[in-house]
Every structure is written in structure tokens, then in C-alpha cells.
Amino acid sequence: MVSEDRVIRTDFSRGEMIGGLVWLSLAAALSAFLEVMYLGTWITLPDGTRVAAPYTIIIAFLFNVVLTRTARLWTDRGAVAAVPLYAWIATYAVLVIGPAVSGDQLVGNNIRSILLLVAGVSGGLWPLIRRK
């Protein structure tokens, strides 16, 4: 049987908390970049038909859930626990705004890009809204 008693450590310094949130934010930024880069993946079926495979939408939701849940281990304040989500949104915004600066379109202007944004944000907010 699994015991329902959880042991949560609280003997960490403010510097350790900040360091943890920085690493989670870096993971969120890298995640957003990779999810945008692989959003346009297509799978070629044996008969030659190509099918869009936007699996990164699901990954964005699940990974942002993990990042925010992990951030909740460091703090009880929702705004602070959402720091990785802020990093994810900021990276997505930079990739959207990028064409104005460089001329290269990184985020497509299609429904998959909108679904990626919705999935990423909702995944990051889910642990903050849902209470056990």
C-alpha cells in the first residue's frame, strides 16, 4: 500500500529557490523553441500521403504541467510558481515577433500555432488552478 503522507522539504534557502526557478525557466524556454521548430512535422504514410503530426502541442501541455508542478514545490505563491510559464510565453512571443526583425517566419500563421499557444498556457496554468 502507498501511504498518503507526503514529506515536503522546506529547508531550502531563497537562493536555492531562485536557482531552481531559473533552471525551470531555461527548460521552459528551450521547450518552447523546440516545440515551435517541430510544430510543422509531417508524416509520410506508405501510400505517399502526407499527414500533419503536431505532436508538440501535446508535449507543450504536458511539459508545462510538469514545470509548473515542480515550481510549486519551491513556493506556494502562484505568481512565483508561474515563472516557467512566463518564460515559455516570452519565448513564444519572441519567436512570433521574430519576423519583424529578421524576416524569417518561425511560427506559422495557422491553427496549429494557436493550438500550441493554448496548450502551453493551459498546461502551465493547470497546476495553479487545480487544487488537491
The SS3 assignment for 50 reads strand
End-to-end, the C-alpha distance of the chain in Å comes to 20
Percent pLDDT > 70 in the chain is 88
Residue-wise pLDDT tens digits, 64-92: 999 999 999 888 888 999 999 999 999 99
The per-residue pLDDT of the chain, averaged, comes to 87
Give Cα 117 to chain centroid, integer Å. Answer: 9
Q: Which of 81, 77, 78, 36 is nearest to 59 (CA)?
A: 36
**Is the pLDDT higher at 51 or at 100?**
51
Query: What nine digits make up the cell of 33?
Result: 523553441
Residue 30 vs residues 47, 88, 127: alpha-carbon distances, Å: 35, 8, 20
pLDDT, position 27: 97
Give Cα 67 to chain centroid, integer Å. Answer: 7
pLDDT, position 30: 97
pLDDT, position 9: 64
Evaluate if residue 98 carries a pLDDT over 90: no
- What is the residue type of 20? G
